[in-house]
Amino acid sequence: MKLSNLLIILCSWLPGLGLAQLSPDKTLPTKKIVLPEPYLFPIKPGKQNALAGTMGELRQTHLHSGIDIRTDNMVGMPVQATQKGYINRIIVGTFGYGQALFVKHPDGNESVYGHLDHFTKEVAQFVLNKQYEKKSFDLDVVLAPGQFPVNRGDTVAFSGNTGASGGPHLHFEIRDDYNQALNPLDFSFSEINDVLVPVVQKIAFRTLNEQARVDQQYGRKEYHLSKNGNDYYVNQPVYASGKIGLEMLAYDRLDYSGFRCGINEIEVRVDSQRVFVQKIDKVDFLKNRQMASIIDYPVLKTRGLQFYKLYLNEGNILPYYGTKNNGQILVTNQKLNVEIFLRDSFGNTSRVHVTLAPSTNNTQLFTGSGRLSPAHFSIEENVLHLSVPCGQQAITLFEKGTPKNLAPTYITQTGQADYLIDLQRSIPDSATTCSEKIRFNIQDVIPPGIDYTYYSDWAVLRFTPQSLYDTLFIEQSKSKKNGLNVYTIGNSLYPLRSEIEISLKPETEKTMLNSSVYRINGRSYEYRGGQWDNGNIKFKTNELGEFILLTDSTAPYIHRIHCNPGSARFRIMDNLSGINSFQASINGQWLLMKYDYKTGIIQSERLDKTQPLKGNFELKVTDRAGNERTYQQKIY
């Protein structure tokens, strides 16, 4: 059985904000059928219920496309059809939705029920027959309209914890006939009540060009908030100048639920004028990895915090927004009163109040001594930001070997010297400071929206028009880790919109031909694979960062839990590359093994449950590096 990740790719169309926005395709037909009965809540209809997740909330790689209904931390709760119709699709998978049903309704909508434990008897037998027919645990079957009709309120399945589920619950979606997921809470389910307002934790301000400042410095600064009722305040004015972007760390609370959920709508007003609205009320599946447009991606990667961006970067094509000047706030010579409104699906609203006061861009902020940091640099908004513990001393920049003295742009309050270099004008190779020489390793400028190939001595990078959100200043270097070459390609804090193709030219060829590419993620290694050709290895990645070649020569591990006439149950795992496939047989005949990757448990399920397992049993497990282990047993 070949394992495959379920790719969830998300975006949306947003109507009715009253500002500049993207519009839906007006050639699409409108729905005409009105159902006689309202949609039914699929878990314990008519009784108070609670949610563990809401529509549009931010996940690690995507926007959530439905609601997660709590099932009292149990599996096996009856799942009822929200409307009449027919089952039109069934998915069984290792990842993603796990086991899922799709029901088509007369009004053109489709309901989706995910992470199911098992189906009703008739559907379960159909699925089992299909798995044996295709000799695969994973299944994706489209059904004819009359094959499995359902009525509103029929039990269609039982809740579970399959696929990429973090605990027992029902994932529930309602999609329209253009395959856009709608917000189920817009269907007025009385089972879900909420009077709690969103919670705001922090606000951040970010400079959006080289001339901008927050508290007289370039970069990003966070502020804590005080609270009075449903209102939050920054207790002192925030001094700023130039183009500023706002960010918000917040979450929504729901009655009878301890989970932190997403914010459906955020609005920003400056001096009572609306400049930004984000409203996520539809999610479709035609866009990939667009969530990085919504959040501060570097903060997510370094600290695990999801700050909503309340402005638009270049490359953000998501149509959730209404904006004026892309939500960017220009601070000149007058105070600005900023209000931020956060609303959930029930209209509960929190407000944030902050005053932006104008300041001048002084080059000298502090003349005494303070706690200095080691030299470091980052690339933000086409600007190279270099900070060194050199006070007022000038540094020497080198561009293609040519030196140039550069005075500090400003001195921070701790005495640190900050230098801002516009990379659209100059791309330096290195800098000599009062204490050290710093190499920037910027090899090329890669524009978004075009096919582009970058060549170096040891790598070829191929970008498509969909690969980048914005201009990429590609950094590249080699180093050693435990005696192995580490290939740094780009900065892991820069998000890719879609995969790029990389061809590496390792220094050692013959000894590495059995190796694969792995991306270094902290202390772990993420398998990227790769194909060897003439001493080069070609692979694809949706993240930049550090890559290494490793050889996985250890076969997967198979632990027997039991193997008897009743069933065969094992735990399988792999030490490096991960499980790729497994296959079981009894007397040479294919035997279905159901797999839960979260626990590593696989268990047999016979087509004819009246027949015991007897004879020669064999289980073969293969990892992604091609290593294979076989378990054999005679069952009496």
Q: Are residues 151 and 210 in the same domain?
A: no
Q: Are residues 259 and 136 in the same domain?
A: no
Q: How confident is the model at residue 506 (pLDDT cuts 50, 70, 90)?
A: confident
Q: Are residues 73 and 156 in the same domain?
A: yes
370 located within any domain: no
Q: Are residues 253 and 166 in the same domain?
A: no
526 located within any domain: yes
Q: What is the pLDDT of residue 316?
A: 80
Beta strands at 231-233 and 349-358: parallel, antiparallel or unpaired: parallel
Look up residue 344 and give its DSSP letter: -
14 located within any domain: no
What's the one-letter identity of residue 128?
A: L
23 located within any domain: no
Residue 251 pLDDT more than 90?
yes
The C-alpha atoms of residue 329 and residue 203 are separated, in whole angstroms, by: 15
Q: Are residues 411 and 516 in the same domain?
A: no
Q: Are residues 406 and 467 in the same domain?
A: no
Q: Are residues 337 and 393 in the same domain?
A: no
Structure tokens given for 531:
């194909």
The C-alpha atoms of residue 374 and residue 154 are separated, in whole angstroms, by: 65
Q: How confident is the model at residue 552 (pLDDT cuts 50, 70, 90)?
A: very high
Partners of residue 384 on adjacent β-strands = 379, 421
The C-alpha atoms of residue 259 and residue 59 are separated, in whole angstroms, by: 13
Specify the CATH number for the domain of residue 598.
2.60.40.760
Structure tokens given for 328:
């960017």
Nearest to 275 by CA among 337, 215, 334: 337
Q: What is the pLDDT of residue 514?
A: 85
Q: Are residues 207 and 338 in the same domain?
A: yes
The C-alpha atoms of residue 5 and residue 211 are separated, in whole angstroms, by: 45
Sheet holding 536-543, edge to edge: 452-455, 459-463, 495-504, 536-543, 531-533
Provide φ and ψ at 297, rounded to 5°: -65, -45
Highest-confidence segment of 8-17, 58-67, 439-448: 439-448
The C-alpha atoms of residue 329 and residue 338 are separated, in whole angstroms, by: 10
Residue bearing tokens 């094509």 = 317
Specify the CATH number for the domain of residue 86.
2.70.70.10
Provide φ and ψ at 18, rounded to 5°: 80, 10
H or E, element range at 303: helix 297-303
Answer yes or no: are the C-beta atoms of 113 and 100 closer than 8 Å. Answer: yes
**pLDDT one-digit tens code per residue, 364-395:** 555 555 567 788 999 987 899 999 987 778 89
205 located within any domain: yes
Average pLDDT over residues 152-180: 94
Number of domains in the chain: 5
Residue 512 pLDDT more than 80?
no
Q: How confident is the model at residue 287 (pLDDT cuts 50, 70, 90)?
A: low
Question: Nearest 10 degrees: CA dihedral of 150, 66, 164, 540?
Answer: 120
Q: What is the pLDDT of residue 4?
A: 37
The C-alpha atoms of residue 408 and residue 388 are separated, in whole angstroms, by: 10
5 located within any domain: no
Q: How confident is the model at residue 535 (pLDDT cuts 50, 70, 90)?
A: confident
Question: Nearest 10 degrees: CA dihedral of 362, 242, 374, 411?
Answer: 0
Specify the CATH number for the domain of residue 524.
2.60.220.30
38 located within any domain: no
H or E, element range at 300: helix 297-303
Q: Are residues 224 and 351 in the same domain?
A: yes
Maximum C-alpha span of the chain: 88
**pLDDT one-digit tens code per residue, 573-619:** 999 999 999 999 999 999 999 999 999 999 999 999 899 999 999 99
Answer yes or no: are the C-beta atoms of 84 and 150 closer than 8 Å. Answer: yes
**Whole domain around residue 293: which residue ranges?**
199-358
Provide φ and ψ at 278, rounded to 5°: -120, 125
Q: Are residues 180 and 242 in the same domain?
A: no
Q: Are residues 427 and 531 in the same domain?
A: no
Q: Residue 72, by phi and psi: left (phi above 0), alpha (psi -120 to 50) or beta?
A: left
**pLDDT one-digit tens code per residue, 325-355:** 999 999 999 999 999 999 999 999 999 999 9
37 located within any domain: no
Last residue of a domain, one of 141, 166, 187: 187
* Residues 6+ positions from 593 with CB-CB distance below 8 Å: 1, 137, 568, 582, 583, 584, 602, 603, 604, 605, 619
Long-range contact pairs involving 35-38 (C-beta distance under 8 Å, separation at least 24):
35/83, 35/84, 35/105, 35/106, 35/107, 37/83, 37/152, 38/187, 38/188
Q: Are residues 213 and 339 in the same domain?
A: yes
